[in-house]
Amino acid sequence: MNNHLLLNFIDLLAITLQLLIIVRVIMSWLRPNPTSPIGRFLLEVTDPILKPFQMILPSVAGLDFSPILALITIQVLQSLAQNYL
């Protein structure tokens, strides 16, 4: 039973992080005010996830591919948790 709760939590966390990263990407295209409460929240939550990937994979021609790498990593970790818990 505990594994089931843990897997549900991991799934919810993974989906939430993926959605926040996707919203951040979409908002970056729209250039919203980063000091707005929503913009600040997105940056505070997603920056710690994206920064390590930005150091590994610098932007190319002004395009930041770190969200793609972060989304793939979250998906892999979620899959590993489902297979091993």
pLDDT, tens digit, 9 for 90 and up, residues 34-75: 788 988 999 999 999 999 999 988 888 888 999 999 999 999
Angle of CA points 84, 20, 63, to nearest 5°: 105
Q: Round to whole Å and give the CA distance between 67 and 73.
A: 10
Q: What is the pLDDT of residue 68?
A: 95
What are the CA-CA distances from residue 57 to residues 19, 35, 49, 50 (Å)? 21, 26, 13, 10
Instruction: Tally Cβ neighbours within 10 Å of residue 55.
Output: 9
Q: Which tens digits make up the pLDDT trace of 14-27?
A: 999 999 999 999 99
